[in-house]
Structure 1
């Protein structure tokens, strides 16, 4: 029977798995496969596992339970191994790398910050603060038929949006990164202009959360900051 693999831990991890059921329509108990100084947390599966809500929640519940007991290397949803032996082989083969990463992540959790900006307010601010953009917009509203005007205004506004949001993203990151042991910035999507993951040690979590809350409250320009965490350190498992 195949195995669904949730995470890798050190052998000394308490592995409090009591009451946890795994992914799949016929969920089996979550258990550990030990090899040397490491353990992999797994459950038996007999079907293809898809990212359904129930299974996503089960995967996350295992990660959160493990985090409470110590350092963990969380695997992304959907990792399947053939059997216990193949899992043990990987743990033996890559033991040094896994142990080094566990040591690096010990005492930490991931926090994820996304930031977006109200588009209408941003546009109003640009038209108010940028004389050239305001002039072009007024000419269009007054009925000027020059076909180049809309394109010129659009290009000017787009450049100004990028400049302002890049500056906002840099300011937010510069204020929060000093609290982090590590951080990573990924491309933002949708209306977001910042997608920042931070590895925060437990001793700095309270100061970090307070700083982020104060920053989000003080920042203007229709900016919305969305902080999630503490999370398993997915972004920092290498």
Structure 2
């Protein structure tokens, strides 16, 4: 039977898994595998494992319980080892790397921030700041058949939008890093210009959230900030 892996944590950390169940149509029993200074929280892996809502929620519930009690290296949903022996061998082989990451993460949690901006406001700023865009815009209005100018206008707008979004993303990130230990950017979803995760010391979490609230109030309604957390530090494992 293969082994489903939820997280890796220090072997000397107390664990409370009471009331939790693992993934699977018939929920599996959680257990631990320990080797040296490391422990993996695992269960039997169902043969038909899929990202079904019940299984994702079960995985998240284990992560949240472990996160509440201290530092943890969370595994993403669906990580399966061929056997308990293989998981123990991995803990032995990669012990230094896992311990290093646990030390680097420390007693931190993750917050994810996404940012979007009103498109009309963005385009107004593009026109306001770019002489080239204004010139091409005027030329295409006066000569709608000028395909070359239309293409050039589209390219100029795209370049300006990219520049302004990079500027705004940098401003937001720089305004929050004082309350965070690290940050990591990720692929940006549609209609957003920023998707960033912050590794925040648990002791600084309230200050970080307050700072995001202050920033959101200052930027609204032109910008919209969406904060999720606290989360297991997936982006920093």
The Cα offsets for residues 199-224 of structure 1, whole Å up to 9 and x where unpaired, read as 10011111111111111221267221
Question: Is 1:159 aligned to residue 151 of structure 2?
Answer: no
CA, structure 1 residues 11+163, in 2 after alignment: closer, same or farther (shift >3 Å)?
Answer: same
Moved more, 112-121 or 220-229: 220-229
Corresponding residue number in structure 2 for 1:60: 60
* Number of equivalences: 237
TM-score when normalising by structure 2: 0.91
The Cα offsets for residues 42-67 of structure 1, whole Å up to 9 and x where unpaired, read as 11123131212221111111100001
Corresponding residue number in structure 1 for 2:49: 49
Q: CA deviation at 1:128?
A: 4.1
Distance of 1:193 and 1:149 partners within structure 2: 27
The Cα offsets for residues 60-112 of structure 1, whole Å up to 9 and x where unpaired, read as 11100001111111011111112222222222222222222222222110111
5+ residue gaps, structure 2:
none
Q: Is the 8 A contact 1:3 1:82 kept in 2?
A: yes
Three-state SS of the structure 1 residue aligned to 2:19 is coil
Question: Is 1:148 aligned to residue 148 of structure 2?
Answer: yes
Distance of 2:78 and 2:46 partners within structure 1: 13
The Cα offsets for residues 158-200 of structure 1, whole Å up to 9 and x where unpaired, read as 1110111111011111111122112222342322221211110
Q: Is the 8 A contact 1:121 1:221 kept in 2?
A: no
Moved more, 31-40 or 200-209: 31-40
Three-state SS of the structure 2 residue aligned to 1:14 is coil
Q: Is the 8 A contact 1:199 1:236 kept in 2?
A: yes
Q: CA deviation at 1:16?
A: 1.0
Corresponding residue number in structure 2 for 1:218: 218
Q: CA deviation at 1:227?
A: 1.3
Q: Is the 8 A contact 2:23 2:46 kept in 1?
A: no
Corresponding residue number in structure 2 for 1:109: 109
CA, structure 1 residues 96+145, in 2 after alignment: closer, same or farther (shift >3 Å)?
Answer: closer
5+ residue gaps, structure 1:
none
Distance of 2:100 and 2:146 partners within structure 1: 64
Corresponding residue number in structure 2 for 1:82: 82
Distance of 2:220 and 2:122 partners within structure 1: 11
Q: Is the 8 A contact 1:5 1:80 kept in 2?
A: yes
Distance of 2:173 and 2:68 partners within structure 1: 27
TM-score when normalising by structure 1: 0.91
Three-state SS of the structure 2 residue aligned to 1:198 is strand
